[in-house]
């Protein structure tokens, strides 16, 4: 069984949740850094990471790490790698992305060009003494990450980013990314059988991720990955991991969670998305204004991504909405509510200081998850 080192990029603020997911898969964490987690796996780890991880943006196979203070050192360090170990003859190897942080060689196009030429030279040693290297078969996208003088070279095993689960064909304005929604639900101590509401559900992402987690459905079951086509990976590995993931879905569990929105068009999108995801039986969508929300339930969870920034036209509208939400939610004495927003003065407008605040990023947009944690229900009321 081959051993690999994988690197999974993620949104800033999500690293701990991602590391916990990786540990739950049984893999050893090497290090956790801002925006990524590095860990050891076997061959099955590539398939399992892509299919099971809810918070990762991609799964990269680490090829090498070395220091380079000049373009010559970057070229020679890349050329020394035995790329034929990873890229079979005919494999396409685009330099899909390069990033440079605090590195004097900051020209991204030059970095990409140099790495490409060095990989070609390395492959020639294995496949050709002279002539051109063919690139007419499956893809092995190479990523270059340079921090100060340290170069990390990886091959992307995911292809399309992992937040694209395959269920969100349509979305309303400024939706929350699926991986961030999964991370938020990982912070909420909800479980099937307890009340969960998103009173401003939009296209339904938070509730769909919650429902998938509730029935133990792996997020990557409804899509394909670029490494499934690799000749370097046994197709049986993917078949085994998918079958295992399907077997783990709990089709016997019963629960209902609820999504409300004032926009009927958004609700139609949410219903379609839930159906594509295979969780439509667990979510009830209803056309209702969040400010009209009431409940006879003594305990429950509200998790929502209220409008802010580009989703509303002016700051006064945002302030008024948050003031009204604070008034509505505080009537729910024993409930817990979780709201993510990039609005810096949220607590002041909401009228209540959060129990906890967690800095998260929705893409490049810095946000905070404001957590208002209510009391636990007595055991007989769970």
The SS3 of residue 122 is helix
List beta partners, residue 33: 36
Domain check: are 114 and 185 in the same one? no
Assigned domain for 23 exists: yes
Cβ contacts of 348 within 8 Å, gap of 6 or more: none
Asked if residue 87 is part of any domain, the answer here is yes
Closest CA to 221 of 241, 207, 237: 241
**CA separation for the pair 52, 75 (Å, rounded):** 36
> How many other CB atoms are there within 10 angstroms of residue 173's CB atom?
12
Find the domain containing 151 and state its range. 3-156
113 shares a domain with 191:
no
Map tokens 């605090």 to a residue.
102
**Residue segments in the chain with a per-residue pLDDT below the cut of 50:** 311
User: With the C-alpha atoms ordered 276, 279, 284, 290, is the resulting torsion angle positive or negative?
Assistant: negative
State the total domains in the chain. Answer: 2
- Show Cβ contacts of residue 236 under 8 Å, excluding neighbours closer than 6 positions: none
Is residue 354 located within the same domain as residue 317?
A: yes
- The answer as to whether 264 is a domain residue is yes
60 and 10 housed in the same domain: yes
Q: Are strands 365-372 and 142-147 parallel, antiparallel or unpaired?
A: unpaired
**How far, in Å, CA of 13 to CA of 24, rounded?**
19
d(CA 232, CA 226): 12
4-34 tens-digit pLDDT: 999 999 999 999 999 999 999 999 999 999 9
What pLDDT score was predicted for residue 196?
A: 98
Question: Would you say 223 and 166 are in contact if contact means Cβ atoms under 8 Å apart?
Answer: yes
- Let me know if residue 279 belongs to a domain: yes
CATH code, domain with 266? 3.40.50.150
Same domain, yes or no: 43 and 133: yes
CB 94 within 8 A of CB 136: no
Output the pLDDT for position 314. Answer: 72
Q: Are 176 and 206 in contact (CB under 8 A)?
A: yes
What pLDDT, on a 0 to 100 scale, did the predictor assign at position 105?
64
Residues 111 and 211 in one domain: no
Q: Which two tokens mark 63?
A: 């090829």
Q: Give the pLDDT confidence of 210-223 residue by residue, as tens digits.
A: 999 999 999 999 89
pLDDT (0 to 100) of residue 365:
86
């Amino acid at each position: 069984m081959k051993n690999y080192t994988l690197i999974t990029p993620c949104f800033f603020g999500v690293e701990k949740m991602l590391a916990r997911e990786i540990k739950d898969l049984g893999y050893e964490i090497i290090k956790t850094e801002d925006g990524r987690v590095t860990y050891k796996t076997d061959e099955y780890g590539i398939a399992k990471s892509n299919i099971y991880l809810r918070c990762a943006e991609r799964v990269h196979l680490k090829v090498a790490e070395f220091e380079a203070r000049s373009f010559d050192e970057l070229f020679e360090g890349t050329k020394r790698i035995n790329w034929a170990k990873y890229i079979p003859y005919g494999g396409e190897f685009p330099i899909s992305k390069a990033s440079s942080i605090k590195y004097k060689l900051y020209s991204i196009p030059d970095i990409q060009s140099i790495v490409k030429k060095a990989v070609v030279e390395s492959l020639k040693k294995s496949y050709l003494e002279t002539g051109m290297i063919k690139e007419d078969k499956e893809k092995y996208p190479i990523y270059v990450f340079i921090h100060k003088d340290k170069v990390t070279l990886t091959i992307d095993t995911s292809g399309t980013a992992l937040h694209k689960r395959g269920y969100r064909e349509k979305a309303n304005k400024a939706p929350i990314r699926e991986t961030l929604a999964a991370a938020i639900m990982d912070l909420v101590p909800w479980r099937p059988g307890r009340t969960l509401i998103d009173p401003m559900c939009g296209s339904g992402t938070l509730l769909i991720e919650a429902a998938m987690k509730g029935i133990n459905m792996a997020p990557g079951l409804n899509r394909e990955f670029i490494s499934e086509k690799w000749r370097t990976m046994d197709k049986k590995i993917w078949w085994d991991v998918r079958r295992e993931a399907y077997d783990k879905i709990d089709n016997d569990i019963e629960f209902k969670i609820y999504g409300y929105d004032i926009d009927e068009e958004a609700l139609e999108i949410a219903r379609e998305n839930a159906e594509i995801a295979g969780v439509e039986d667990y979510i009830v969508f209803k056309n209702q204004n969040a400010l009209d929300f009431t409940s006879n339930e003594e305990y429950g969870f509200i998790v929502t991504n209220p409008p802010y920034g580009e989703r509303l036209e002016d700051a006064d509208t945002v302030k008024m909405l948050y003031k009204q939400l604070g008034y509505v939610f505080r009537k729910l004495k024993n409930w817990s509510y979780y709201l993510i927003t990039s609005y810096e003065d949220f607590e002041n407008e909401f009228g209540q200081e959060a129990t906890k605040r967690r800095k998260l990023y929705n893409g490049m947009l810095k946000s905070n998850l404001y957590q208002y944690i209510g009391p636990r229900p007595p055991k007989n009321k769970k």
